[in-house]
Every structure is written in C-alpha cells, then in structure tokens.
Structure 1
Amino acid sequence: MTPLAPASSPVDKPSPSDAGLAHHPGFQRLFRPGELTVGLILPLETHPRRPAPTMAGHLQMARRAEQLGFGALWMRDVPFYDPAYGDVGQVYEPMVYMAYLAAATTSIVLGTAGIVLPTREPLILAKQATSLDQLSGGRLVLGLSSGDRTSDYPMFGIDFASRGERYREAHGVLRSVTEERFPVYASEHFGRAGGSLELVPRPAFGRIPSIAVGRSQQSLAWLASHLDGHLAFVPTPEDLAPLARLWRTEVALAAGEAAFKPLGIGGFFDLSDDPDEPFQRIHGGFRAGRNGLRDYLLLAREAGVSHMALNPKVSRQPYAEIMDQLSESVLPVFPALA
C-alpha cells in the first residue's frame, strides 16, 4: 500500500470557531458569552466514605435534575476499580449510560468529563458519539481527557508516557471521520483512510462539540487551537480572572479576537451546613455554603467562565436535598440557556 502523504495526518487540523456549533442544542444550552450555567458530575448520589455509589434511583434523579433546570449531566470514564484511588465514578460505561439517559430525558445536556481518549479506539468512539448525538437530538458534548490513573494503561497495553501523543492523534481521527465526507488521513496508531469510506450516522447538527477536560498533556495553545472549549479544575477565587484571561488570550491567538471557545471549571463540591460559608479548598475541589457558592459563581461569570460542573459526591447531605438547595439559591441566577 502506498503511504498517504504526511499532510493528510489528522493531528494538525485546528478546530473551527463556535460558528460551526451555532445550531447545536447541547452547546447552545450550556455556553454563551457573558453567561454561566451549572451542571452535575455523576453519580447523582452522595457517598463520601465509599468508593462506589449504589446507583439506586439514578434514573429518577437524572429526571429530577432536568426538571429543576440543571444544564448538564457529566459522566466520568473509570473502567476499573483501583483501591489506590478509591473512586469508581458512576460505575456504568459512560457512552452506554448516556444512551440510557438520553431515552429518559428530553433537554438536559449529556456530557463526558471526560472520555480517556488515549485508551479509546477513535473510530468506535466516533460511531458511538454520532449515534448518541442523533438519538439525543444533539445533546451530546464530548469532553476528552488523557487520564491520570497509571494503573489503567497497562491493562490496555499502552505506554502511559505516550498518552499525550495518542490524545492528539486520536482527536484528529475523531474529527476527520465525524466532520469530513469520505476522509483521507494517515495515523501512526489508529489506522488510515483513503477516501472510499464514510462514517454513518453523521452528526445531527453538522459536528459534535469536543472540549478538553484538564490539560490532557497538551499546551494550552494546542487546546485553544484544536478543541471547542476547556474544562479546568476549579480554581480559587483569586485565580478565576487570571485563568480566564489566559484562556481567552490563547483562543484569540488561535482563532481570532471574535472567536468564542468556552471555559468551564469543575471538581468535587462539599455543600456546607453554613449557607454563608465562602469558598474553602478541599482535596479535589472545594467546600462552600449555598450562598458562598453563588458568590463564587458570580465572580466566575464576571471573569468569563461559562460553566460550572459540580460533583457533590463528597457532601454529607442526601443528594436530593443538595439539588433542591441549589435549585432555590443558585439556578435562578445561573439557569440553563434556551
């Protein structure tokens, strides 16, 4: 077989600006300049001292989150239980679980936070993503990470040190097959396409938004050039403005001053019994009262943050009570977008 030209490599294709996502329902429900929305990282169950949730009543809780007006449900990609980490996420495989939730909900965004891209076969992931985007009516936002669990990689026969390179390559293949008709490309790890095959189904609204979860072993400049947005670890109040300013600068350099590529933040959230307790750093996230959270989100919105993904699994209250408190004090100020 004659090798395809290096110029056909899928790695170096920059992402277009948000103009390509102007009609994507999921993207538009979460992200708009000057606005901030709130989503929940699954499971919708508090279990601060246990590695795994029971997943009891999880479908009813997802419907409740939609009814209350949360913008998104985010699913993590944790294939194995590693006692050294002590956390298995929402137990179920995220792409399968999203399909189940898509059939039980109508408007809430379904996102991944994030798929560990270097361990995924991008052609299969592309087929799953376009199918989910079609079946959900364009509610999929694909968050992509490089993963930080060193114990997972040997199970897949992949060198942990290669995850940054594999992330770039897999992302390029994913974009090529979902956005191009009969694509032509060559990749080192994920095959080649000669222009005779086309992925079906196609994305429901032209293309599927993909955001970087964490830095994914990439430079911020590369993320700003190739992804549609960035979900960062929740910063302190003092670091909100510098983080947002840095991201805006990189987006402007990559895509122009008028480009909008949203910045989101996320992490564990412990809801304090004191409603006025301000932001306090905890391992993996922060603690605050409902009013303290609202004050923090006001600062985040002013800085230019577009979305907050909360994971209250470490909280002590029942999850339903947490959602009710947030729906009363936070969501009226930061509603999901029409």
Structure 2
Amino acid sequence: MNKHNMALPNSFTRVFAQNRLSIGLLTPVEAYPNSPFPTLAQHQSIAKLAEDAGFASIWLRDVPFYDPSFGDAAQLLDPFVYAGFLSAVTQEITLGTAGIVLPLRDPISVAKQAASVDMLTNGRFVLGLSTGDRPTEYPAFGVAFDERAERYRDSIEMIQRLHTEHYPRMKSQFYGALTGNLDLHPKPVNGRIPMMAVGRSRQPIEWLAKNMDAWIWSVDDERAIQEINASLAIAAGDKAPPKYGYATFFDLAANPDAPYQRFYNVVRIGRHALIERLLKHQELGVSHIALNLKPSQRSAQDVIDEMGDHVLPALQRG
C-alpha cells in the first residue's frame, strides 16, 4: 500500500506541522556534559515536565553498545522498552525513535515493537530509522557494514507491508519470506505509523522523498536548508515532500542576551538570539528541531522551564 494514500495522524502533524516549527528533546532528557553515562534520575518527572512545557516530542536513541571512541552511551535503555515506559507517564507528547539502527535489527521484530508502542501510546508514535553512526557495532551483530543501505531499504518495505497489509506476500533480499499465511497484530492505531529517516541512511534524496514522511539530519546551515527542501520538493513530484528537521547538541546560556556560538557540533545561545534563529529557520521551512541536552551547563529542568516560559510561546506567536 502506498504510504501517500493514508492520512498522517496527529502524532505526526503536531510535530511536523505545515509552515510551523516545533521543538523536541532527545533522550536522555538530561545534562551530563562531563560523563558518557547519564544518571536517568527523575526521568519520569522530566518527561512530564517537557510535555507540560509544550515540547512537541521526545526522541529515543538506539545505542546498543557503549563505544568509548564516541563518548556517549545515550539513555542506556532499549528505545522500544523505554517508549513503552514513557507511554504510561505521558498523555499527549509524541514519542518517537531517532533512530532505530535498522540494519542491526530484524524488521519483523521492529514492526511488532513499533506497533505495540503505537497501541500503548494510542497512536502518538513516530518510527525514526537510521543506519547508525558507529561502525564498530556491525561486526558484533554479524552484519556487513557495506550492506547497510540495501538492508535499510529492504527492512522498511517489509515493515510497511506488515503494518498496512493483511497476510502480505514478500520475498526479502536479506531477511525472511512472507507467504500470505501470517498476519501481524496489532496493526497501527491510525492505519500506519509515520516513518522518519534519521541521517541520510546512505539513501539518495529521491528515495527519501518517495518513502519517508520526515527527515531529521544534522544540517542547520541556512543555505543548505533551502537547498534540501528544494531538492525534496523536486524529488517528491506531485506528492507532498517529507518534512525536514535537524538535531543538534544544545546549551541554553543562562544569560538571555548571549549571542549564537558554535563549538564544533554544540550550539550555545541565549534565548533572545535563539528565538530569532528559530523564527528564521521556520521561514526557511524547517519543521522540527530535536535538542540534545548532553552538553548543557544548566540542568534539564532549568532549560525546559525557560524554553516553556519564553521560547515555545514565541514560536506559537510567530
């Protein structure tokens, strides 16, 4: 079934709205600038705090192993297990993965896990999928690193068919065969689960435009944003192109008048310059920004409170 034939649920459109920029948070929703490991202290209350403050989403990362060369163990917990847990402590905020390292997982299991979380959240789940950024993990899973692009596409087709078809038939290149005698349940609450590419996943723009509902990358340069959105629109043809957003390491300065600064991949900025920057990116067609608070010099609670009191309302007005 063509993904464009089914309407996108509110879980997606509240994050990737037309002509409106929203803000989400990457897990762990915690500042831990001096350690690769978060504490996960008060993570239930912080998730609820983010929801109450008006953040659109919480994104769960997929990091199977701690690799010292990367220096970040993410939220430690398996993303699907953690999403199920967060579904019970939140009511409205969209939960999603950013992103499941798809070539390292069996697509039938991913389809079942995603549909289960979708049911537990009453349809407020977005399935973000990547090929990962840690080559050292591939040998541990016995998967060829140079096959990751093909495995990614193969898996996505199988997941989509398991979610949207009854008793599907499909011969997978890398996985098993569906012969029409088995049906996956539960089916997605809203007919299908929105799919989001995280990173390029080694796919051409044309493939992303035709197969993904959204795309989160790390590119936040203003000229590049314009080029990306133009390329997606051309590649999508007469279909709606995927919504574009980006993820960034984020440090909200205590001084609200602090200017924009960039330290390698960390944005440090005061709220006044942040609001100006976000409104500009909204004009350029950025739909969503996912903030990673790992390098924050302030607590997650302080950042969430200031964003909720000043930054998110300014976006709504803008």
Calculate the TM-score normalised by the size of structure 2.
0.95
Residue 7 (structure 2) aligned to one of 11, 21, 26: 21
**Structure 2 residue 290 is the aligned partner of structure 1 residue 309:** yes
Alignment correspondent of 1:254: 236
Is the Cα–Cα contact under 8 Å of residues 53 and 309 in structure 2 kept in the other structure? no
Is the Cα–Cα contact under 8 Å of residues 102 and 135 in structure 1 kept in the other structure? yes
Alignment correspondent of 1:78: 63
Compared with structure 1, are the counterparts of its residues 290 and 209 closer, same or farther at alpha carbon in structure 2 (3 Å cutoff)? same
Residue 284 (structure 1) aligned to one of 246, 261, 265: 265
**Structure 2 residue 32 is the aligned partner of structure 1 residue 32:** no
Alignment correspondent of 2:222: 240
Post-superposition CA distance 1:81-128 (Å, at most 9, x none) = 111111011111000000000011100000111110110100001001
Give the CA deviation at 1:32.
1.6
Give the CA deviation at 1:250.
2.5
Distance in 1 of aligned mates of 2:243 and 2:232: 12
Count how many residue pairs are aligned between Structure 1 and Structure 2.
Answer: 317
Compared with structure 1, are the counterparts of its residues 251 and 196 closer, same or farther at alpha carbon in structure 2 (3 Å cutoff)? farther
Cα RMSD (Å): 1.7
Q: Percent identity?
A: 42
Give the CA deviation at 1:268.
0.5
Give the CA deviation at 1:270.
1.4
Distance in 1 of aligned mates of 2:11 and 2:230: 22
**Letter of the 1:16 counterpart:** K
Alignment of 1:120-269 (within 5 A): 120-235=105-220, 239-256=221-238, 259-269=240-250
Is the Cα–Cα contact under 8 Å of residues 267 and 309 in structure 1 kept in the other structure? yes
Alignment correspondent of 2:308: 327
Give the CA deviation at 1:159.
1.3
Give the CA deviation at 1:279.
3.0
Compare relative contact order (CA 8 Å, sep 6+) and give the higher one, 1 or 2: 1
Distance in 2 of aligned mates of 1:205 and 1:244: 32
Is the Cα–Cα contact under 8 Å of residues 76 and 90 in structure 1 kept in the other structure? yes
Give SS of 1:21's match: coil
Give SS of 1:96's match: helix
Compared with structure 1, are the counterparts of its residues 198 and 162 closer, same or farther at alpha carbon in structure 2 (3 Å cutoff)? same
Give SS of 1:127's match: helix
**Letter of the 1:230 counterpart:** W
Give SS of 1:141's match: strand
Post-superposition CA distance 1:150-172 (Å, at most 9, x none) = 11111100111111111111111
Alignment correspondent of 1:92: 77
Distance in 1 of aligned mates of 2:300 and 2:241: 34
Alignment correspondent of 1:50: 35
Calculate the TM-score normalised by the size of structure 1.
0.89
Give the CA deviation at 1:29.
1.5
Post-superposition CA distance 1:27-58 (Å, at most 9, x none) = 12212211111110111110101001110110
**Structure 2 residue 276 is the aligned partner of structure 1 residue 295:** yes
Distance in 2 of aligned mates of 1:254 and 1:57: 43
**Letter of the 2:6 counterpart:** G
Give the CA deviation at 1:241.
4.6
Q: Which runs of 5+ in 1 are unaligned?
A: 1-12
Give the CA deviation at 1:79.
0.9
Distance in 2 of aligned mates of 1:200 and 1:244: 40
Alignment correspondent of 2:49: 64
Q: Which runs of 5+ in 2 are unaligned?
A: none
Distance in 1 of aligned mates of 2:315 and 2:171: 44
Post-superposition CA distance 1:242-277 (Å, at most 9, x none) = 424433432443241x61521111111111233233
Distance in 1 of aligned mates of 2:307 and 2:45: 18
Distance in 2 of aligned mates of 1:305 and 1:99: 29
**Letter of the 1:324 counterpart:** D
Is the Cα–Cα contact under 8 Å of residues 225 and 286 in structure 2 kept in the other structure? no
**Letter of the 2:50 counterpart:** A
Give the CA deviation at 1:284.
2.7
**Letter of the 1:291 counterpart:** H
Residue 108 (structure 1) aligned to one of 85, 89, 93: 93
